[in-house]
A and B are shown apart, each in its own frame.
Chain A
Amino acid sequence: MVVKCESRVSGKVMVVKRIKKMPSVSGDASDEDEAGADQGFPVRYLREACLLRACNHPNVMKLEFVTYHEGQIELFSEFVGLNVEDYISSLSDEYFTRNKQKHEWVLQLGRYFMKQVLKGIDYCHSIGILLRDVKPRNFLISSDGTLKLTGFVLARFSLLPEEPLTQQVVTLSYRAPEIILGGTYPVYTAPVDIWSAGCTFAEMITGRTLFEGDSEIGQLLKIFKLLGTPSDCNKSFCFEVPSYIELLPQWQPQSLSERLEGLCDEGVDLLSRMLLYHPCSRITARDALKHPYFQGDHSLMKT
């Protein structure tokens, strides 16, 4: 439950996230005492609270403080009203097709927001945080147009993941192929956030989810349909992929600029670098910020 509140001491308006504790999932069903028993501070929120506390950047949401009394957990953070998902759904189809001027405006805003998305991700990666849940809903827009990265429940501090991590991360539509193909314990790192950021980017420009699969395999098919089925998968992904991939239809890569109508060539180039199959050749957040797409003065003009 999320509530808006105002501090009596500082007069600061904050958002309180009140966490209802979930019964333990891993609890052994045969053991009635333990199933659903209180496991203390939930793991996800423990990580969210600790990682947000470690962050200090204008594009990352500031967690003011945490209270934990009588089993009730509350996270207090700065107040930001709107998120990028709301923003995207507020754009009607008319913006994208009929009204040229408004379409231009959407493209400009897309660039303006994308730069901040990448700045937030760059910061997190530079302090060793892997986000694992980058998506429009997790970017809040403050009243002065600053984007704030949030949603750290799946994040973890992971410098050099020589050990496998869990597969159950990243909302399906934004999940990178190496996680889908990696089996039960895939090894992955920072590039998965860039893939998600690329999907977010496309969504801000077109107003539609780029890859909307209904299952893991469906997701993979959607990705291959647009970007082409890789001819040599082991080489494309640089690790052993499941053999079923051989059975998938062979698609040719489609033109990204057609899919992202109106986006300038630099933008399309950046997106294609963010959506490379090989995690290592995928552009990093830092290089993306140096991309020609962001060069020059793109501050928003008042209309």
Chain B
Amino acid sequence: PSITNVELPDPFDIDSNDTGNQFAVTEYLSDIHRMLRDNEERCIIDHTYMNRQPDINARMRVILNDWLIEVHLKFKLRQETLYLCFQLIDRFLERNTVPRQSLQLVGVTGLMLASKYEEIYPPEIRDYVYICDNAYTRDQILKMEQTMLDKLNYTLSLPTCWSWMKRFAKAAHKENDLEFFHLLSY
């Protein structure tokens, strides 16, 4: 579902309280969020894409995502990384047919790209090889990285669920409410 056409009314000016907060960059916030809204359309994923995949199905995707959440936890990565990773995988699967045995490869490579983009210290390739229990070789991962970057057209800066979650939590004045955030993340 897109909210692209909904203009946030000004009474919901939730940023003005931040004036004077050096980290909030108040002046630019509305611009940044307008840009995110404009870009949102570009990352809407056709939810029926699984029907076009001959070898994989939605259940496998769920298993893959569960596994990625575990890996993400184990590597102690940032929240943004996980959501970007899911987005990259879905955008890739939407356009490209992937055989069953390569699904995990797509998943782990998506995580690698997301970590490289977001993290200060991204995990190394050997960590990914290890976490897949040597199911794929380092060369396979490298090759998949090339393919994915090419197919995604080097566009990794689209808004993810996480960008919106942070924004909405702020609008609800719950940004410091950890319980609320956990519920939202769920």
A128 touches B32 (CB 8 A): yes
Distance, CA A59 to CA B138, complexed state (A): 40
Interface magnitude class on chain B: 35 or more
Contact assessment for B22 and A34 in the assembled complex, using a CB-CB cutoff below 8 Å: no
**Contact indicator per residue, chain A 189-217, by CB within 8 Å of chain B (1) or not (0):** 11100000000000000000000000000
Smallest CB separation, A190 vs chain B (Å): 5
Interface code A55-80, partner B: CB below 8 Å = 1, 0 otherwise?
00000000000101101000000000
Contact of A68 among B122, B149, B157 (CB under 8 A): B149
Contact B23 A51 (CB under 8 A): no
Residues of chain A contacted by B156 (CB below 8 angstroms): 46, 50
Q: Is the CB of A40 within 8 A of B25?
A: no
Query: Does B116 touch A at the CB level, under 8 Å?
Result: yes
* Cα-based distance from A215 to B120 in the complex (angstroms): 23
Q: Is the CB of B27 within 8 A of A286?
A: yes
Choose the segment among A82-90, A158-166, A226-234, A242-250 that binds chain B (4+ C-beta atoms closer than 8 Å). Answer: A158-166
Contacts of A166 in B (CB 8 A): 120
Cβ-based interface call for B155 (8 A): yes
Contact of A53 among B22, B36, B155 (CB under 8 A): B155
* Stretch from A94-102, A104-112, A277-285 that touches the partner: A277-285
Interface size on A, residues (CB 8 A): 45
Given contacts A127-B32, A189-B25, contact A46 B78 (CB under 8 A): no
A300 in contact (CB, < 8 A): no
Of the stretches B3-11, B52-60, B139-147, the one at the interface is B139-147
Q: Which residue of B lies closest to A46 (CB)?
A: B116
Q: How far is the CA of A190 from the CA of B124 in the complex (A)?
A: 30
Q: Are A278 and B23 in contact (CB under 8 A)?
A: no
Instruction: Note all chain A residues with C-beta closer than 8 A to B120.
Output: 165-166
Residues of A within 8 A of B21 (CB): 280
Which residues in chain A, 16-55, are within 8 Å of chain B measured between CB atoms? 24, 26-27, 33-34, 37-41, 43, 46-47, 49-51, 53-54
| CB <8 Å contact, A37 and B28 | no
How many residue pairs at the A-B interface have CB separations less than 8 Å?
101
- Contacts A127-B31, A165-B120; A50 near B142 (Cβ below 8 A): no
| Residue B35 is within 8 A (CB to CB) of chain A in the complex | yes
A-chain residues with CB within 8 Å of residue B98 when the two chains form the complex? none
Q: Is A126 an interface residue (CB 8 A)?
A: yes
Bound-state Cα–Cα, A49 to B117, Å: 11
CB of A281 to closest CB in B, whole Å: 9
Judge if B150 is at the interface, Cβ distance under 8 Å.
yes
B153 at the A interface (CB under 8 A): yes
Residue interface bits A140-170, CB-to-B below 8 A is 1, else 0 = 0000000000000000010111110110000
Chain A residues within an 8 Å CB radius of B27: 284, 286-287
In this assembly, does A264 line the interface, its C-beta being within 8 Å of a C-beta of chain B?
A: no
Q: Quick one: which of A37, A69, A160 contacts B23, CB cutoff 8 A?
A: A160
Besides A53-B154, A162-B23, 16 new A-B residue pairs in contact (Cβ under 8 A), listed by A number = A37-B124, A38-B138, A40-B141, A46-B116, A47-B117, A49-B154, A68-B149, A68-B150, A127-B31, A157-B157, A160-B25, A165-B120, A189-B25, A190-B25, A190-B28, A286-B28
Q: Which residues of B contact A (CB under 8 A)?
A: 20-25, 27-28, 31-32, 35-36, 78, 112-113, 116-117, 120-122, 124-126, 138, 141-142, 145-146, 149-150, 153-157, 163, 166
